[in-house]
Structure 1
Amino acid sequence: MTVTLDNGRLVVTISEHGAELTSVQNKETGFEYIWEGDPTIWGRHAPNLFPIVGRLKGDRYKYRDKTYFMTQHGFARDDDFKIVEKTDTTVRLRLVDTEETRSIYPFHFQFDVVFRLTEQDTLGVVYAVTNTDTHDIFCSFGGHPAFNVPLESFGDYYINVDPRRKYPTAKLVGPYLDNNLEGVFDANQPLRLDRDDYREDAKILRTEGNPITFVLSKKAQSHGVTMHVQDAKFVGIWTPYAKDAPFVCIEPWWGIADTVDADGNIKHKYAINHVAPAQTYTGSYTLTFF
């Protein structure tokens, strides 16, 4: 099942499966901003990552002396959410724990994803994790939206970052984070899209909870997307290196993959978020389409 939001100029489509944004289309021109999800290249559009971001060492972790198994990016992207609020321009989708989720993630939780489309052609996305358990829960979450970049002009697209400065970067070795290999991303100049830059996976900026804005467009700016991230810990930029994929992802993350030296205890996981009973932990970003 899908749900649509409409402000008269844009039509936004969201699937209840994974609470995934699947389409943002300009009603007048028909221009589609979101990747179509061709499974021969990458079969997703904009998955929501929860309760982990990235990969656990050996796809496993320990909690209270018990070992649990969980695959990359967690289970929320493959579960069905329920719509709990809906207007013409707003929808709140919710995932709660079940016996099945507790077999791999032994916590009671409520995970809401809220979409709000404004008259300024801005789509706000809010993540809210509420602890419905009697003790702390440990989680990460994030977005993974893929934006269409026409194949014939891929190298003509740029990403501008504001504030313009040098950002520390996180480095993955295989699927795991190595904090000894930190680098630098120089945002004083626009980043021109080049597939060779993603030979070793994503570029990951350490944004450390500070506001940051990304503008994806050609220099002529005929069409593009502005992403403003309010408080994420990291933002990844990614496109599949081995395939001529006509899209690029800009991914705000409130968490990251296990480090190469992780001990497997979820309480010790690098950049994990601790949420106390009855408390809600939130993160947000906006997308403005032009």
Structure 2
Amino acid sequence: MTTTLSNSILSATINHKGAELISLQSLKTKKEYIWEGDPYFWGKHSPVLFPIVGTLKNNSYQYKDKIYFLSRHGFARDFDFNIVSQEKNKVVFSLQNTLETFNIYPFQFELQLIYTLKKTELIVTYKVINNSSETMPFSIGGHPAFALKGKFENYTLQFESGEKLISYGLENDLLSDKTQCIQLKNEQLPLTYSLFEKDALVFKSLQSKQIQILENNNPILNFKFDNFPNLGIWTKLNAPFICLEPWLGYADTINANGNILEKEGVKLLESNSDTAYTFSVEIV
């Protein structure tokens, strides 16, 4: 089942499974900005990553002397969300804990995905609610894939700041101590597949909170991620898309001890409280 929002400029379609954005389209030009999800390359569009981002060491974690198993990027993308409210330009999806989730993540939670169309911009908010009587560890992230038509090398990422990017390498899907420095030129990173030969670029910190995608130096969209501290950038060889992934947290490090409360990058949410993180896509 899907739900579509629209205004006079854009339409956005969300699949109820995973509350996943599957289409963002200009109504004037009919241009599609979200990757179509061809499984030959990657069969998803924009999954939500919760309650972990990336991979856990041994695909497991320890909490209160018990071992729990969680697969890469968590489980939220695999469950159907319910709609709790809907307007023409806004919809709120909700996922709550069940017996099935409790067996792998022993917390009472609600995850809301809020999609809002505002003129030329789609605003995506992740609201995490801890209904437990104890502190709840979690990570959360977006994974939107943007369609890139034509030659991949025609595209450039324009960063907000002319910073030196430090990307952390991955070893068997875990974060290593090995880093590479990527020097921007005029705040720009030209896209080449060679950047992703060893998987995603993983940034623990960035000065920039906005990245613009350019095609032949012409702006296509602005991607804003104000209160997400971490970022991943990823594609696959010869795939016509780029993923800009705002994260709160990241994969386990190779030296992780397995204690979820001590996991690097994890957020500890107090009992009976909530927090929210937002990114947006603005069509230029």
Question: Which TM-score applies when normalising by structure 1?
Answer: 0.94
2:5 maps to which residue? 5
1:164 maps to which residue? 162
1:248 maps to which residue? 242
Tell me which moved more, 198-207 or 244-253: 198-207
SS of the equivalent of 1:55 reads coil
Letter in structure 2 aligned against 1:135: E
User: Does 1:260 pair with 2:254?
Assistant: yes
1:127 maps to which residue? 126
Q: Write the mapping of 1:1-290 to structure 2, written as runs, cut at 5 A.
A: 1-119=1-119, 121-150=120-149, 152-178=150-176, 180-189=177-186, 190-207=188-205, 212-221=209-218, 224-241=220-237, 244-290=238-284
Runs of 4+ residues over 6 Å off in structure 1: none
What is the CA deviation profile of residues 103-147 of structure 1, one whole-angstrom value per residue up to 9, with x for unaligned ones?
10011001111111102x111111111110000010000000000
1:183 is displaced (CA, Å) by 3.3
Cα 1:211–1:110 shift into 2, 3 Å: farther
Q: Percent identity?
A: 36
Gap runs ≥5 in structure 2: none
1:39 is displaced (CA, Å) by 1.2
Q: Distance in 1 between matches of 2:104 and 2:27?
A: 42
1:225 is displaced (CA, Å) by 1.7
RMSD: 1.3
Letter in structure 1 aligned against 2:274: T
What is the CA deviation profile of residues 216-251 of structure 1, one whole-angstrom value per residue up to 9, with x for unaligned ones?
121342x6121011121211110013xx21101000
Question: How many residues are aligned here?
Answer: 283
Q: Distance in 2 between matches of 1:285 and 1:133?
A: 26
Paired residues of 1:94 and 1:110 also in contact (CA < 8 A): yes
Q: Distance in 2 between matches of 1:114 and 1:186?
A: 35
Q: Distance in 1 between matches of 2:243 and 2:159?
A: 14
SS of the equivalent of 1:181 reads strand
Paired residues of 1:165 and 1:188 also in contact (CA < 8 A): no
SS of the equivalent of 1:51 reads coil
Q: Distance in 2 between matches of 1:54 and 1:164?
A: 27
Paired residues of 1:185 and 1:205 also in contact (CA < 8 A): no
Paired residues of 2:159 and 2:208 also in contact (CA < 8 A): no
1:194 is displaced (CA, Å) by 0.4
Paired residues of 1:114 and 1:126 also in contact (CA < 8 A): yes
1:18 is displaced (CA, Å) by 0.3
SS of the equivalent of 1:171 reads strand
SS of the equivalent of 2:261 reads helix
Paired residues of 1:35 and 1:45 also in contact (CA < 8 A): yes
SS of the equivalent of 1:182 reads strand
Letter in structure 2 aligned against 1:140: S
SS of the equivalent of 1:196 reads helix
Paired residues of 2:109 and 2:131 also in contact (CA < 8 A): yes
